[in-house]
Amino acid sequence: MKSKYEKYTIKLKIPQDIEVKIELIRKIAPLTIQAILKNLPFNTRIKKYRKQIILYFPIKFKAEKTTVNVKRSDVAYWPLSQALCIYLEDMRTSSPVILVGKVTEGLNLLAKIASGTGVIISEINEN
């Protein structure tokens, strides 16, 4: 049976064989997700700020519905900083973000990764 919503799985490949899986849900932000997928694979670095992980990822797209309220494991695109953000706890963001999905594996591992660590973001092709 096919899922009600089109979903894409991407992974963050971090040194020491650490992988974090993220599910992007197209219905939430189709233009943003299309722009993300179009630019994969992408190399960037992790920046930790309070209880969030920031991955600089400059993309161009038309604005979509934004929010300032996020939950633990949410993944959002932060247009102001041109970055993907992963939230380690429920919070109110300092500026609007576009929700794109959720971390499905490895959220707790991210808390242990140092700022400045390199990461490769890529799509997982599932059949």
Q: pLDDT at position 2, please?
A: 44
The residues, any chain, with a CB within 8 Å of residue 62's CB and separated by 6 or more, are 31
Q: What is the residue whose two structure tokens read 């700020």?
A: 49
Tokens of 23: 């599910």
Name the nearest CA neighbour of 86 among 126, 58, 50: 50
What is the CATH number assigned to the segment(s) 7-124? 2.40.100.20
Q: What is the pLDDT of residue 124?
A: 87
Q: What's residue 1's pLDDT? A: 37
CB 87 within 8 A of CB 51: yes
Phi and psi dihedrals of 5, rounded to 5?
-120, 140
At residue 111, the pLDDT reads 85
Global pTM reads: 0.91
113 contacts: CB under 8 Å, gap ≥ 6: 14, 18, 46, 48, 53
Q: Running DSSP on this structure, what letter comes out for residue 89?
A: S
Quick check: 25 and 89 in contact, CB under 8 A? Answer: no
pLDDT, residue 67, reads: 95
Tokens 């990764």 belong to 113
111: left (phi over 0), alpha (psi -120 to 50) or beta: alpha
pLDDT in tens, the chain (127 residues): 344 568 999 999 998 888 999 999 989 999 999 999 999 999 999 999 989 999 999 887 777 899 999 999 999 999 999 999 999 999 999 999 999 999 999 999 988 899 999 999 999 875 4
How long a stretch of residues is the chain? Answer: 127
